[in-house]
Amino acid sequence: MAYLRALLVWFIIIAVETCHGIARALFIVPLTGDFRARQIGVFIGALLVFFTTILFIRFINTTKKSTLLSIGFGWVFLTLLFEIILGRLLGYSWNRLLADYNLLKGGLMPIGLLLMVCSPLLAAKCRNLLH
């Protein structure tokens, strides 16, 4: 049941991230350019994911560390799938999509995804749900 609840929370996270992406395109891209805005967006997005997770961690209803980590990994998998499918539907090239994941060239998404993996566990700790 925790995994089904976690999937519902992931849909909320994706909705929040979609709004974040629209706001980034409207307000940050004109100031910094697209790539720099995406770099900044990784950290804003990580905070949004974390705060959303804190809000819904009790709803997920698990205190097992292994389950919380597996939920985080599941969210990363679903997010990667979502980003690839959406990016391709929007006509982005593979080079454009992969640029965000290349740490050597300034892509910071791996950092954001690592934080996403940790979000359920950290949120549970912040809410004192772990024994």
DSSP for 50-118, written as a single string? HHHHHHHHHHH----HHHHHHHHHHHHHHHHHHHHHHHHHTT--HHHHHHTT-GGGT--HHHHHHHHHH
Tens of pLDDT, residue by residue over 101-123, are: 999 999 999 999 999 999 999 99
Every domain of the chain and the residues it spans? 2-124
pLDDT at 130 over 90: no
The share of the chain scoring above pLDDT 70, in percent, equals 99
